[in-house]
């Protein structure tokens, strides 16, 4: 369950909380958020959705690059914990590479992990070169995963980053798996999906999940769409459909 653009409007809060609650009820237990989303507002939405059921969810949150220093990272983490109303974050990310040395960020993350504030840490928007640099850093091998842009129309990570991560048994998290809704209304994708009695969005999500090492985090504040997304997990793409998708969206 993604939460980008949540927590930005009080008028939408009830609907957003309900969407996350439904997702949890349907077994979508990983919730991805960030201090950047709604400047903390999305984390507060997550807290409301998890009221009385914190242990049902795997919380992922992210720190701004400018807040990823030796002193600033612990402070940012405490603010996220307060907004999330929890005692730990299951997976804490560096949102994207910044000017603070990665070694300093890793050290800060390791201290947070040892203190029990976070359970694991990872990075986001790191290309292969950045991942190699991270791996060469002390404790860099503790990175749990890399969250990147990945969908049918954005396949660049397939060339080197996905194989690099696979070689290290490192899963990848795919954000914007429906390309911010563009794939849900793609004419040719919609025609192919209709031929198989599914929606274009479901086909796009199933495609990202064809590899068990890829975790996909679609965001929706609409109950019907949350249910639609959940049902995509049951789809298994045949080789023929995969070939047709490669034809529509060449790697």
Residues tagged active-site: 37
Largest CA distance in the chain: 55
Burial class (CB in 10 A: 0-12, 13-18, 19+), 115: exposed
Q: What are the DSSP E strand ranges found in the chain?
A: 30-32, 58-63, 89-94, 118-124, 146-149, 172-175, 214-216
Question: 86 near 54, Cβ under 8 Å?
Answer: yes
Question: 23 near 16, Cβ under 8 Å?
Answer: no
Closest CA to 148 of 162, 167, 166: 162
* Token reading at 22: 């439904």
Neighbours of 135 (CB within 10 A): 13
51 sits in the region (left: phi over 0; alpha: psi -120 to 50; else beta) called beta
Neighbours of 154 (CB within 10 A): 16
Q: 72-84 vs 102-114: helix axis angle to the nearest 10?
A: 50
């Amino acid at each position: 369950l993604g939460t980008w653009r949540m927590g930005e409007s009080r008028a939408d809060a009830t609907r957003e909380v309900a969407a996350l609650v439904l997702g949890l009820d349907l077994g979508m237990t990983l919730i991805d958020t960030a201090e950047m989303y709604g400047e903390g507002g999305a984390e507060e939405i997550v807290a409301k959705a998890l009221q009385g059921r914190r242990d049902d969810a795997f919380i992922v949150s992210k720190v701004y690059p400018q807040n990823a220093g030796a002193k600033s990272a612990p402070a940012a983490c405490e603010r996220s914990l307060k907004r999330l109303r929890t005692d730990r974050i299951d997976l804490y990310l560096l949102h994207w590479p910044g000017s603070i040395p990665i070694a300093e960020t890793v050290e800060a993350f390791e201290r947070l992990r040892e203190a029990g504030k976070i359970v694991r840490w990872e990075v986001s928007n790191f290309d292969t070169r950045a991942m190699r640099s991270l791996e060469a850093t002390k404790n860099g091998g503790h990175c749990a995963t890399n969250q990147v842009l990945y969908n049918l129309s954005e396949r660049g990570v397939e060339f080197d980053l996905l194989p690099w991560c696979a070689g290290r048994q490192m899963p990848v998290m795919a954000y914007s798996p429906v390309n911010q809704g563009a794939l849900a209304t793609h004419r040719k994708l919609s025609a192919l999906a209709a031929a198989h009695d599914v929606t274009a969005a479901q086909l796009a999500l199933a495609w990202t999940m064809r590899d068990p090492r890829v975790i996909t985090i679609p965001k929706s504040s609409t109950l019907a769409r949350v249910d639609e997304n959940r049902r995509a997990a049951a789809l298994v793409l045949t080789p023929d459909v995969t070939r047709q998708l490669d034809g529509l969206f060449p790697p």
